[in-house]
């Protein structure tokens, strides 16, 4: 071309410069990640400690446990044949001795601040211990076993519902943002407030219609009783039980989700660079992929990741209504029975999952959004 006096440096030097800045950029990402990791870890410790304080009612639960031990030992001493000849004072002394042994064995004699730190350490190292009263279906009292047994059903229910809602909302939102102001668009906007009612509310009606009235689907539970012997039939049975609770979650969240995705895409599709892409002659699909979805990828990833963490808690009322043997139901049972280890364990694992997700999100952000990766670099330039 005619204008060649413009500066055009050689190819080698910029290439080298690029590699060097990539390496130092990598070091910076590592530093950045390390700082993030430490701050997240501190947050987890604080959250778990607070949970322990609350779940132990500031040490009061241990007073209750000491009282229970004393009562049990007392009953045993008063009823046992071999102690019948002892006087009242002697019996009381004996009770104190036996109780003290048990209290020391459980290390309940330490002051609560020290005990709370021990609980904290056990919790953080996932040394979850034994439940007070709740047992798993297989009869184990280990908190780990109880939680693991309940995790599967909760994940099955929540993950299938969440994925269904997320995918539907994403594509419907994208389609509606294109057809802004159409009849379907206005319909969804009008229906968005239906999501103010919780899933169990729709669950009740779904049970009424499809289980009680029509008798097409089961009232609740996760599998037929007795469970079908072969794997395929078992799978079909679970699927059949899954339909109503998933439908309940879907109905209660779908319109608000579509509405928010649509609004999100409407905002991002009126960016100047989207118009430029159109002016350049890109096809609608290419514009959608490279100029709407690609720049909004970080935000989309965040929303799906955060929605996945909430799966862990389960849906307490919904699982109650559908008699679904998941974590939500367990949490409800544990709260009623003041089963501290189960409550604490549930929260600790939630805190860990949240922390891991937030940390992973930071890394994913650095990968998908070039502005994050060089954030520290840009400041130093």
In whole angstroms, the minimum distance from the beta carbon of 178 to other proteins comes to: 10
Would you say 241 and 180 are in contact if contact means Cβ atoms under 8 Å apart? no
Q: Which is nearer to other proteins, 15 or 101 (CB)?
A: 15
Q: Other CB atoms closer than 10 Å to residue 210's CB: what's the count?
A: 17
Choose between 108 and 297: whose C-beta lies nearer to other proteins: 297
For residue 179, what is the DSSP state? T
Q: For residues 176 and 352, is the Cβ–Cβ distance under 8 A?
A: no
- CB contact at 8 A, 326 and 147: no
Please list the residues that pair with 130 across neighbouring strands: 142
Alpha-carbon distance of 318 to 325, in angstroms, equals 11
Residue among 183 and 232 whose Cβ is closer to other proteins: 183
When the beta carbons of 2 and 212 are compared against other proteins, the nearer one is: 2
Nearer to other proteins, 261 or 346 (CB): 261
Is residue 226 reached through a cis peptide bond, with omega within 30 degrees of 0 on the bond before it?
A: yes
Query: Closest approach of Cβ 306 to other proteins, in Å?
Result: 21
**Interface with other proteins by CB under 8 A: which residues?**
1-4, 6-9, 11, 13-15, 17-18, 180-181, 271-273, 275-283, 286, 290-291, 294-295, 297, 368-371, 374, 378
Query: Which CB sits closer to other proteins, 1 or 213?
Result: 1
Q: CB nearer to other proteins: give 205 or 273.
A: 273
Least CB distance to other proteins at residue 357 (A): 22
Q: Which of 264, 290, 265, 266 is nearest to 277 (CA)?
A: 290
DSSP classification of residue 209: I
Rounded to a whole number of angstroms, the minimum distance from the CB of residue 270 to other proteins is 8
Closest CB 29 distance from other proteins, rounded Å = 16
Whole-Å CA distances, 213 to 208, 223, 237, 239: 6, 20, 20, 20
343: Cβ contacts below 8 Å, ≥ 6 apart: 51, 55, 331, 334, 335
**Chain centroid, CA 72 distance in Å:** 39
Minimal distance in Å, beta carbon 168 to other proteins? 24
Q: Whose Cβ is closer to other proteins: residue 21's or residue 323's?
A: 21
Cα–Cα distances (Å) from 235 to 107, 127, 229, 239, in that order, read: 47, 34, 10, 6
What is the per-residue DSSP string for 234-249? HHHHHHHHHHHHHHHH
- Beta carbon of residue 379, minimum distance to other proteins (angstroms, whole number): 13
Minimum distance, C-beta of residue 7 to other proteins, in the bound complex (Å)? 6
């Amino acid at each position: 071309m005619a204008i060649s006096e413009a500066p055009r440096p050689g190819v080698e030097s910029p290439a080298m410069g690029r590699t060097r800045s990539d390496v130092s950029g990598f070091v910076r990402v590592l530093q950045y990640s390390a700082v993030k990791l430490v701050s997240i870890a501190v947050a987890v410790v604080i959250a778990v400690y607070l949970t322990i304080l609350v779940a132990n009612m500031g040490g009061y639960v241990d007073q209750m446990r000491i009282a229970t031990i004393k009562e049990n030992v007392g009953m045993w001493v008063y009823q046992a044949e071999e102690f019948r000849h002892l006087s009242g004072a002697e019996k009381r002394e004996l009770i104190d001795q036996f109780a003290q042994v048990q209290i020391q064995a459980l290390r309940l004699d330490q002051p609560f601040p020290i005990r709370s730190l021990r609980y904290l350490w056990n919790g953080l190292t996932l040394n979850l211990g034994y439940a007070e009263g709740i047992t798993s279906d297989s009869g184990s009292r280990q908190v780990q076993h109880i939680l693991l047994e309940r995790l599967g059903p909760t994940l099955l229910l929540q993950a299938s519902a969440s994925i269904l809602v997320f995918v539907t909302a994403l594509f419907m939102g994208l389609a509606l943002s294109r057809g802004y102001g159409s009849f379907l668009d206005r319909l969804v906007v009008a229906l968005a407030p239906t999501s103010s009612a919780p899933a169990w509310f729709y669950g009740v009606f779904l049970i009424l219609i499809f289980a009680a009235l029509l008798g097409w689907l089961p009232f609740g539970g996760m599998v037929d009783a007795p469970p079908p012997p072969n794997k395929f039939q078992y799978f079909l049975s679970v699927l059949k039980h899954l339909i109503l609770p998933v439908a309940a979650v879907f109905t209660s969240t779908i319109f608000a989700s579509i509405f928010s995705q649509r609004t999100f895409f409407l905002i991002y599709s009126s960016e100047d660079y989207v118009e430029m892409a159109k002016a350049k002659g890109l096809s609608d699909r290419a514009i959608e992929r490279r100029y709407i979805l690609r720049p909004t990828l970080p935000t989309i990833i965040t929303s799906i990741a955060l929605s996945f963490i909430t799966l862990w808690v389960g849906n307490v009322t919904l699982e109650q209504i559908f008699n679904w043997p998941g974590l939500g139901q367990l949490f409800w049972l544990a709260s009623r029975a003041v089963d501290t280890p189960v409550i604490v364990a549930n929260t600790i694992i939630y805190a860990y999952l949240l922390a891991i997700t937030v940390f992973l999100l930071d890394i994913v952000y650095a990968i998908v959004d070039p502005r994050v990766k060089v954030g520290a670099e840009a400041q130093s330039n």
